[in-house]
Structure 1
Amino acid sequence: MKGKIVLEEHVSTELNNSLWDASGEATRNGRVYMADVERRLLDSDQRIADMDRNGIDLAILSLTSPGAQSLLDPRQAIAFAQRTNEQVTEQFVARHPQRFKAFATVALQSPRAAADELERAVKDYGMVGALINGYTNIGNADTAQYLDEPPVWEFWERVAALNVPVYLHPREPLPSQRRIYEGYPSLVGSAWGFAHETATHAIRLMLSGLFDRYPNLTLILGHLAEGLPLMLPRLEHRLHMQREGEGLGNAKKTVSHYFSNNFYLTTAGHFHTKGLLDSISEIGVDRVLFSADYPYESMATASNWFDETLISENDREKIGRGNALRLFGLK
């Protein structure tokens, strides 16, 4: 299929590279693999060549994880988000405006500053929403502020007013919560830990009452929604059985209602037809979006699978292009 749109596609900047020691990722994921990823994160020409070869018209870019979320100094995090949005615009979008758009980087260490920066990025740079890498460290590397918690609702109020989507991207679990991965460090990140961390985070948002207060909020989950299409029916059943128990949140509706009305999912990094069909059966084809997860994944792998997978051509067009055009108001 030609004319595809992808939206979990990552970049880096010199500022970002100066802050992180990538040796741990290289050890877990393989040094040769990560060296190639690091090179491609900074390269727009190779990215466009890969897009051309694989029938991709437009990529919505975002800063690679962990982004602003793991910076411990709030002032540094706020300045980092502002400069990152400027650099992504300068280095990628402004040079290739017909091929790239971008999600904003925001620093939730200060929800008000994050709201202001999102508004600036949308109005001044034409960014199409925000991508947030899971929880935000507050104080030290082993503390977390999740997006459903009260201080963050000030940010969500602005998101609702701007009416733009937020991509909830994975992040590794807190260091103190990795006991189950001891001896198997390759499981901590994208192979397994990302999905568990992000799916649970999404469930917290569903149970918090956030979508009752701001019913127009739209969240996007990658990797076929981190396993939620399969697991949400059981979750909903068990929550109903436990309805007189504690800690059920403040939601007025079921988790399946919020999943079907406030979430989209992408195929990023999960190129499996049976999983896609299950996802469509749970959320509907109008809320599924094609993506690759470049450069951690290959555009060729994603496109070869998607272009040949056994779905109707009408559904292929919706997932590959039409749904993204509608969601982001693109022409």
Structure 2
Amino acid sequence: MTLAARLVDIHSHVYLPRYAALLRARTTVPRILTSSRDGKPDDRLLILDRDTGRPVGPQYWDRDEKIKFMDRHGIDLTVVSSANPWLDFLPASEAQTLASQLNEDLEQYCADSPSLSPSLKRIYGFGMLPLVPEISIAALLEAIDQISKLSYLKGIIMGTRGIGKGLDDEALDPVWAALEKTGLVVFLHPHYGVNSEEWGEKNNGHVLPLALGFPFETTIATTRLILAGVFDRFPSLRLLLAHSGGALPQLSSRLASCIDHDPVVASRLEHDARWYLGKLYYDAIAYGPEELGFVSDVIARSQRYEPGSSIPTNAPVDRALGSKRMLFGTDHPFFPPLQSTEKWQSVVDNLQAIDAVSGWGQAEKDNVHGGNALSLFNLIQL
């Protein structure tokens, strides 16, 4: 099997033992609550207000369980990340210390994983920044420097609140500059969703917060980055969006029109808003070929808005071109099947969706499966 034909999972989480221990010691959300069900210990992870929790076990922190999951689904390589809520709930000094420790823990977690080839591990990772209110920019730059020097960490995972004012906070410009300079991939992942009051009083489980709230949070955060000119100031920044970019692809033309008709922002950006979507990366966790095909079209369409482009707005798009910025993911250990099965439906659905996208040839599908990830994380030459 060639490197380009590898299956690479870029959206997979781990609650490292040090982090899980912290959550177990807490008495308020976020926490791991230990109780009893049918006479047996019942550990549940609670990360949101009004959260009834989800069962947690070794698959959340045991590397061997991660490898077993990978083997069961034919996944060759995984880029893991600590899962939300990261360090948002900690004071700055504690967050700084813990982020450094967790980055070292994750480096060891990856280093001790099996090898795919003499120079390629099966597990790599996204490090973590102590992005909390009151943290100094110097501390954030120190964390970026630490991560950039760790052999198996290839990026960072980041929530949407920054240091309290969101990711469009100009105070973060030195952070974006450092991330751009190091080439670390920034994985933007939601946690807070939208105001929980919007979900009403009926118990619908996790469906509304996860299916709608998380993608809307990503949509808003990315739009604020665009409006703030972050991608104009840092054009080489490599930003990977969770959940196929949320609703941003669907709403991108509406966004562009609103910008064009608003005197506050009409002349602020260097490009049409739709151009920026072609500079981002997207996980392929959308579960349907039509959704993936649409995102691919939106990425490819950005060429129309290149400076000096003569491509008419009604010209057909090259869907294959858009596939180059899309990457397979599983969201493991979340979304396990409700009944015991050999393979997880959530993973099977994602793979079947990629394989069924109209307009993608085998080369494009192989790249979404793994080739794009190997290139993005600079592993293709190994």
* Alignment TM-score, normalising by the size of structure 1: 0.87
Aligned residue pairs, count: 315
Gaps of 5+ in 2: 24-29, 34-45, 116-120, 300-321, 337-342
Given candidates 323, 326, 330, the residue that maps to 2:372 is: 323
- Tell me the residue number matched to 1:201: 221
SS of the residue 2:232 aligns to = helix
Alpha-carbon contact 1:171-1:198 (below 8 Å) kept? no
1:149 CA displacement: 0.4
Alpha-carbon contact 1:93-1:102 (below 8 Å) kept? no
Cα 1:260–1:207 change in 2 (3 A) is same
Greater helix fraction, Structure 1 or Structure 2: 1
1:188 CA displacement: 6.0
State the distance in 2 between where 1:28 and 1:296 align: 18
1:317 CA displacement: 0.5
Q: CA RMSD in A?
A: 2.4
Equivalent residues in 2 for 1:1-331 (5 A)? Answer: 3-17=6-20, 18-19=22-23, 20-22=30-32, 24-25=46-47, 34-36=54-56, 38-68=57-87, 70-96=88-114, 98-109=121-132, 110=135, 111-136=137-162, 144-173=164-193, 177-184=195-202, 186=206, 189-240=209-260, 242-244=261-263, 246=264, 250-261=268-279, 263-268=280-285, 270-283=286-299, 284-298=322-336, 300-308=344-352, 309-311=355-357, 312-331=361-380
Alpha-carbon contact 1:225-1:265 (below 8 Å) kept? yes
Aligned partner of 1:199: which letter? T
Alpha-carbon contact 2:13-2:81 (below 8 Å) kept? yes
State the distance in 1 between where 2:173 and 2:189 align: 18
Cα 1:10–1:232 change in 2 (3 A) is same
Cα 1:167–1:14 change in 2 (3 A) is same
Bigger mean CA offset, 122-131 vs 247-256? 247-256
Cα 1:30–1:209 change in 2 (3 A) is same
Deviations 1:211-249 (A, max 9, x none): 111110111111111122111122212322x232x3669
Alpha-carbon contact 2:60-2:333 (below 8 Å) kept? yes
Deviations 1:158-182 (A, max 9, x none): 01111221010011147xx433234
State the distance in 1 between where 2:265 and 2:96 align: 33
Deviations 1:98-132 (A, max 9, x none): 21000011112333312221221121343101101
Bigger mean CA offset, 93-102 vs 57-66? 93-102
Alpha-carbon contact 1:181-1:187 (below 8 Å) kept? no
Greater strand fraction, Structure 1 or Structure 2: 2
State the distance in 1 between where 2:220 and 2:83 align: 21
- Find the structure with the greater CA-based Rg: 2
1:9 CA displacement: 0.4
Cα 1:188–1:14 change in 2 (3 A) is farther
Percent of aligned pairs sharing the same letter: 23
State the distance in 2 between where 1:194 and 1:325 align: 27
* Alignment TM-score, normalising by the size of structure 2: 0.76
Deviations 1:279-313 (A, max 9, x none): 11111111111111111135743443344431321
Cα 1:204–1:167 change in 2 (3 A) is same
